[in-house]
Structure formats: structure tokens, C-alpha cells
Amino acid sequence: MLLDIQVMRPDDYVGFTFFIGYMAMFAASVFFFFERGSVDDKWKLSLLISGLITGIAAVHYFYMRDYYLATGENPTFFRYVDWTLTVPLMCVEFYLLTRAAGATKSLLWKLIIASTWMLVCGYIGESFSDGTTAHSVTWGVLSTLGYIYILHAAWFGEVAQLAEKSNSDVVKRGVRTLAWFVLVGWAIYPIGYMCMDGGWLNTAMGWGSENVDLWYNIADAINKIGFGLVVYNIAVSESK
């Protein structure tokens, strides 16, 4: 086992957040799966998705922390595999919440395509860099377009309008809270992206590339677990 031979420094905050992230995601999954039984049938699928999001993340965090400990490098490959699976699932949550108000499959696919686009472009920008700024900026711009689409949908577009149309105040509040996650929580990821070598925060503010994973880990914990807890709160409130 790699873990048997690795020494963790007390000031290794990246390693610390990898361990915290892994256990938090794992615990959240157990919680969501167990709590599935305590909500109405119509909310079981939403909680299953929440559990899957944190579950998939927990498995990847398990690999990522070992990879980081063994090599000291950013586990970009695992990171993007995790995101490519979990972020579209977050978009599925939006669809499930607004389904009762008339959300269509086309909305679901638009959100999935936008989130996948955002991640694939981000992955190309981060992993296949030829060292030029043009590369990271071009793919950064393309990735941001996907994000802006989801942000708009959650705040003003189809998702927001469907939530307003729904008869439930809990759903309205829930979708609004999830929209805040997209606005504030997802905004943490670009901070990490710009800490890469050659990135603006790296060169202008002196934030080293070791901070990339720190920001990503913080963002993941907030967004994946927080997102799931909002959905859980809606499900419990609506099941009473």
C-alpha cells in the first residue's frame, strides 16, 4: 500500500484536504443512501443522485490522495474523470427538482451538454497544454461559455422560470440555493485553474501551482456535499 510508506507533513494542506475530502464524500454518500428511505418516493431518485455524486467523488478522492502522496503532482486525470461524471449529475438534480413544474428532457440534455462541454474544454486546457498562454486562455474561454450557460439557466433561464412556476415554495427556495452554489461555489474552480504555472493568479499574485488542488478540494467539498444537502433538505421538507 502506498499509504504505508508515505509521510504526511503537518503543513501539507493539500494532502490534508485530500484526506478530509475523501472521508467527507464517503460519509455524505452513506448519509444520502441511508436517508433515501425516509423521504417520499418522488424524492428517492434525487437522493440517489446526491449519493452517487459524493460516492463517485469519494472513490476518485481515494485514488487522488494516493497519487498525490506518491508523486506530489496534481492528479488532473482523476480529477477530470470525477468531474465529468459528477457535474452532469448535478445538472440532473436541477432537472429532477423542476420536473414537477414541467421540465423537459431537452432541458436535461442541454444542461448535461453544457456541463460536459465546460469540463472537456477545461481538461484540454489543463492537461494538453503546450506551455503557451494562448492554449490555456482559448480553452478557458470555451469552458467558461458552458459555465455561463448553466449559470444563466439557473438564475434567469428555463430552470429559474420552471422553479417560479412550481407550486412549492420549498422547490423555489431550493433551486435558488442551488443557483447560488453554481454562482459562488463553482466560481472557486477558476481560482484553482488560474493558479497553474503561467496562470494569472500564479504570475500576478504569486499563488503557486500547489494551490490548484487546495482550491479544487475546497470547492468539491462545498459543492458536492452542499449541493446534496440542499436536495436532501427539499426532499425532507416536501415529504412531511
Partner 1 sequence: MNRFTFIFVVCLYALFLVYQAFNTITLEQQLVYASFFILSFGIPHGAIDHILFFKKRSMTKLKFYVLYLGLIAVFVLLWLRFPLLSFLFFLILSAFHFGESQFADAKITLRSFNPLLFLFWGLALLATLMYYNIGELASITAYFQDTQDFAVVYNKDLFFYFFISTNFGTLILLLFFFIKNQISKRRFSSELFLIAIIHLTFFLFPFIIGFTLYFVVLHSIRVMNQEYLFLKSEDVNFSLVDFLKLLLPYSFLSIFFTSILLGLSHWGFLKISIPYLSIIIISVITLPHAIVMHIFYKK
Q: Which residues bind partner 1 (CB under 8 A)?
A: 133-134, 136-137, 140-141, 144, 147-148, 151-152, 155-156, 176, 179, 183-184, 190, 194, 199-200, 203-204
State in angstroms the smallest separation of the CB of 221 from partner 1.
20
By beta-carbon proximity to partner 1, the closer residue of 30 and 183 is 183
Which residues, at least 6 apart from 105, have a Cβ–Cβ distance to it below 8 Å?
A: none
d(CA 234, CA 231): 5
By beta-carbon proximity to partner 1, the closer residue of 71 and 133 is 133
By beta-carbon proximity to partner 1, the closer residue of 96 and 151 is 151
State in angstroms the smallest separation of the CB of 137 from partner 1.
4
State in angstroms the smallest separation of the CB of 172 from partner 1.
10
Q: Which of 221, 117, 234, 100 is nearest to 178 (CA)?
A: 234
By beta-carbon proximity to partner 1, the closer residue of 88 and 140 is 140
Q: Would you give the DSSP letter of residue 85? A: H
| Cβ atoms of residues 113 and 144 within 8 Å | no
State in angstroms the smallest separation of the CB of 155 from partner 1.
6
| Cβ atoms of residues 215 and 192 within 8 Å | yes
Quick one: angle between helices 41-71 and 13-35, nearest 10? 160
